[in-house]
Structure 1
Amino acid sequence: MRTIHAATLLRRTLDDRPVADTAVLVTGDLIEAVAPAGELTAAYPGVRVRRWAGMLGPALVHDGPLPPAPTPRERVHALFGLGAAAVLADRVTDPGLRAAAARNGVALLASARPPELVTGGRADLAVFADDGSCVATVVAGRLVHRRA
């Protein structure tokens, strides 16, 4: 299934200058294209379009312990609420937490890497409000967090 994610502003890396009127086309769990929103909606009529208020960019790599919560599942979902889709593997040693991360598509990385929106790359996206809070998180193409 294809989805176009469009936001007020977009940046491909955390250090890039934000660009207006740009969107990400996601097919399955991969990024198919990053292009002007108008071009994508014209080229793919009928595709679901999710429009977000805020800054769309790559989901974060969480480099600390997962947020505290009563269950491993809730700890993973708390991570999504921060806009993260990946975590350093050495921070997830508990078997129950590791299983919950795997079930939810969290990428377990051997070392930190700067997140980036890349055509052909895994569709890990996040949208942040002006105050830095996470509006939405997409992990491997699935919307896993949306602020009410």
Structure 2
Amino acid sequence: MRTLHSAELLLPGPGSAPVPDGAVLVEGDRIAALGPFTELAESHPHARARRWPGLLTPGLLVRGADELLERTYYPDDPYEVTELGADPISGEAALEELKMTEARWGNSARRGTQKLLARGVVAVTGRFTVPAVRTAVVRSGLTILPPAASGPTPPSLDPLAGRETAGQAFYGVLEPGAPARFAVFAVADETALLERGATTCVATVISGRLLHRRR
């Protein structure tokens, strides 16, 4: 089954020109073609069409995900919010009070990976030492990369935090034959994406699968 994902502006990645009213044709887990929507829709009339608002870009990369998922606890909403609040919990003393177990870390990591997917993240760096956490990350579909050098800011759920350009957070480029791994944001262009942040994400696709959608 072929799927045609289109947006008001397609940004394939560094070195490639933006494509107004652009589209990405996905076949299986790969990109089959990309270009103007009208051209691809005409040449592939039987492809399922998904029209998105805003900007379609390569998916984003988060560094230091081991700190975000193994040293940060995400309360279970709504069951723990009254007692713990809705904000992520970190810090050795606070986590010690929670009496964390591996199973609880795994459940927290699942909630954390959902937050990453909801921000257009497709890949993370880090060394995961808690088996349940690593399992949660693998099952989420996120690509795991080796630990990277520390960035200018502490690890953040928003991979655009501390970046000078949005492109610095892109993972890979969009081109025929490349993995179908991209995100769509409800913004007009790359500058607006950097200003408003990754919470503007409306869709995240990994291996051709729509793993996050917000309309």
TM-score between both structures, scaled by the size of structure 2: 0.62
1:52 aligned partner, one-letter code: W
Distance in 2, matches of 1:106 and 1:15, equals: 25
Q: Secondary structure at the match of 2:129?
A: coil
Residue 76 of structure 1 contacts residue 101 of structure 1 at CA under 8 Å; is this kept in 2? yes
1:144 aligns with 2:211: yes
Q: What is the deviation of 1:69? A: 2.4
Runs of 4+ residues over 4 Å off in structure 1:
14-17, 111-114
1:126 matched to which residue of 2?
Answer: 183
Computed over aligned residues only, the root mean square deviation of the Cα atoms, in angstroms, reads: 2.1
Residue 59 of structure 2 contacts residue 171 of structure 2 at CA under 8 Å; is this kept in 1? no
Of residues 53-62 and 64-73 in structure 1, the stretch that sits farther from structure 2 once superposed is 64-73
Query: Where is the strand percentage greater, Structure 1 or Structure 2?
Result: 1
Distance in 1, matches of 2:15 and 2:183, equals: 15
1:105 matched to which residue of 2?
Answer: 141
Distance in 1, matches of 2:134 and 2:14, equals: 27
2:134 aligned partner, one-letter code: R
2:74 matched to which residue of 1?
Answer: 69
Q: Percent identity at matched positions?
A: 44
Distance in 1, matches of 2:214 and 2:130, equals: 28
Structure 2: gaps spanning 5 or more residues:
76-106, 149-169, 188-195
Which of the two has higher C-alpha Rg?
2
Of residues 95-104 and 12-21 in structure 1, the stretch that sits farther from structure 2 once superposed is 12-21
TM-score between both structures, scaled by the size of structure 1: 0.87
Structure 1: gaps spanning 5 or more residues:
none
How many residue pairs get aligned? The number is: 147
Counterparts of 1:1-148 in structure 2, within 5 Å, are: 1-13=1-13, 18-65=18-65, 66=68, 68-70=73-75, 71=107, 72-90=109-127, 92-110=128-146, 114-130=171-187, 131-132=196-197, 133-148=200-215
Query: Where is the helix percentage greater, Structure 1 or Structure 2?
Result: 2
Residue 8 of structure 2 contacts residue 52 of structure 2 at CA under 8 Å; is this kept in 1? yes
Q: What is the deviation of 1:78? A: 0.9
Residue 61 of structure 1 contacts residue 115 of structure 1 at CA under 8 Å; is this kept in 2? no
Q: What is the deviation of 1:111? A: 6.1
2:179 aligned partner, one-letter code: R
